[in-house]
Amino acid sequence: MKFSLKVVIGTMFIVVFMFSLSGVILIHENFKNSYQLQMKTNYDEHSLEKYSIETNVSENILENGKIDLKKLESYLYTLTYYLVNSRKLAIYIDNEGVWNNIPFLLNIDECENACVKNVDSKKYNILKSDVTINDSNVSIISVYDISGVFEVRNQNLVKFYIIDVVLIILCGCLTTIFAKYLTKPLKTLNEATKIVSSGDLDKKTNIKGNDEIGELSKSFDLMIDSIKKRQDELALAVKQREDFISNFTHELKTPMTSIIGYTKVLKQDKYSNEDKEKALSYICSETKRLEVFSHKLLDLIGLSEEKIVKENLNTKELFKEIESLIINRFSDINLNLDIKEQIVIGDKNLLITCIINLIENAYKASKDTKKINVIGETFKNKYKISVIDEGVGIKKEEIRRITEDFYMVDKSRSKKNGSYGLGLGLCTKILKNHNTKLNFKSKVGKGTIVSFELEVSK
């Protein structure tokens, strides 16, 4: 059974049940009040008739002590003439009837004081009173037609049943429309779920609202965004892994191929000593290249296993040591240091490795001037280190992958400079162990700013 049908049936049942129950109770209470009021009115009129007849009988006693029946009959005739048609009387003196205009046969002992009798689909209220006058027992019986009270109740019930049926139809129509409106977002959500399950993660529900369904829709859209993001991350991870294996294989294969080729040259006698010297030079060069490559890989692997030892470091002293290492490595570098003195927390050797790698990258990307600016300053309770070059710059789409192992923006330039694309990957892992990360700002043809922040010692 569909949810919308459940809503329709459930709502109709509740509405109809409550309306019917309240209507029946209301009609019953109204009938009860009318019935009690009618019975009280009948009793008051019977009491008045009893008093009137008793007075008349007492005033018309013959000399022998008997009741003057002629005068009584004359009085009763006058009395009943003015009574409404719904009221009838019967008078019994010593169990003998002297007056009776009741339209049905009534036994004097049938009703003791008050009762209701059904006669020919009509209802009558019978009231009886006994009085003793001059040793004679006078029974006064009043009969009231109360069918009108029951007829009104029955008419009200019929009208109510008609209204109830109309209400059921209207309630069914309105509830159906409301159920469709209410379940429309659920249908949209269901369709979106089917589409997403087929692999299309671009489908959104776009259901607006602050109710539970709206919140469910927002959660669903957030879930899809999360799945899509995770899928993109997995796809990127797969691509990174494939690139890593491909680049790793290539980096090993290229020098190995060269070494094997030049080794064959050395084995053959047809080549001159000059050619053999040149072959040995190439073999030595490629071997050193493999050595550098292996050291970089060992740094990456060892960093994951090495325990980080953090200590308080003076930034002036730290960069003084870095400056001497850089100048010895790159004699033509134009290095400008603007370092504000501060005490930072970190692993000295790892931070030196990281900063030298950043300066080395800036050097290789720089133009003929080889101008590199390094700035160190306190910024928002952190110590910010920025390495700035005026080199070729990096495209925006390249920045996302620049810290991947083996990834190189310009492979030809990187090979020329002896780079393997491992430096920034190493920096990223070092800074991750210092609870920070690299930030890049670059403009093609203008240069690049690479920065990170360190914790300041308190």
Q: pLDDT tens for residues 41-94?
A: 999 988 988 888 888 888 877 766 777 778 877 887 777 776 655 568 888 888
What is the rounded CA–CA span in Å between residue 294 and residue 433? 22
Output the CA torsion sign for 93, 94, 100, 103. Answer: positive
* Residue 196 predicted with pLDDT over 70: yes
Residue 183 pLDDT level (bands cut at 50, 70, 90): confident
| 345 neighbors 418 (Cβ within 8 angstroms) | no
What is the rounded CA–CA span in Å between residue 142 and residue 117? 13
Query: What pLDDT score does 52 carry?
Result: 85
Q: What is the mean pLDDT of residues 202-211?
A: 72
Q: Pick from 207, 232, 234, 200: which is nearest to 221 by CA?
A: 207
The kind and range of the H/E element at 449 are strand 447-455
Q: What is the pLDDT of residues 245-285, one digit of tens each?
A: 665 665 566 567 777 877 877 777 777 777 778 778 877 87
Q: What is the pTM of this model?
A: 0.45
What is the rounded CA–CA span in Å between residue 430 and residue 387? 16
What is the rounded CA–CA span in Å between residue 250 and residue 288? 16
Query: What pLDDT score does 39 carry?
Result: 92
Query: What's the distance, Cα to Cα, between the start and end of the chain in Å?
Result: 67
Q: Domains in the chain, start-ordered, CATH in brackets?
A: 3-162 (no CATH), 204-306 (1.10.287.130), 309-455 (3.30.565.10)
Query: What pLDDT score does 419 carry?
Result: 45
Query: What pLDDT score does 36 carry?
Result: 93
Position with higher pLDDT, 367 vs 297: 367
Q: What is the mean pLDDT of residues 122-144?
A: 88
Query: What pLDDT score does 417 carry?
Result: 46
**Amino acid at position 447, single letter:** G
Tokens of 174: 């309105």
Q: What is the mean pLDDT of the chain?
A: 80
Lowest mean pLDDT among 131-135, 203-207, 295-299: 295-299
In Å, what is the CA distance from 309 to each residue of 160, 328, 404, 445, 456? 88, 27, 25, 39, 16
Helix, strand, coil percent content, the chain, rounded in steps of 5: 60, 20, 25
| 431 neighbors 354 (Cβ within 8 angstroms) | yes
* Residue 344 predicted with pLDDT over 90: yes
Query: What pLDDT score does 421 carry?
Result: 46
Strands (E), 355-423: 371-379, 382-389
**Residue 131's Cα: distance from chain center in Å?**
82
Residue 1 pLDDT level (bands cut at 50, 70, 90): low
Q: What is the mean pLDDT of residues 438-445?
A: 88
* Residue 341 predicted with pLDDT over 90: yes
Q: Is 98 helix (H, G, I), strand (E, B) or coil?
A: strand
Q: Which residues on adjacent β-strands are paired with residue 346?
A: 311
Q: What is the mean pLDDT of residues 323-350?
A: 88
242 φ, ψ (degrees, to nearest 5): -65, -45
Output the CA torsion sign for 316, 318, 319, 321. Answer: positive
Q: Pick from 24, 30, 40: which is nearest to 149 by CA?
A: 30
Query: What pLDDT score does 416 carry?
Result: 45
Tokens of 457: 């010692």
Lowest mean pLDDT among 115-124, 163-172, 204-213: 204-213
Our CA angle for 61, 65, 71, nearest 5°, is 30
Q: What is the mean pLDDT of residues 19-34?
A: 90
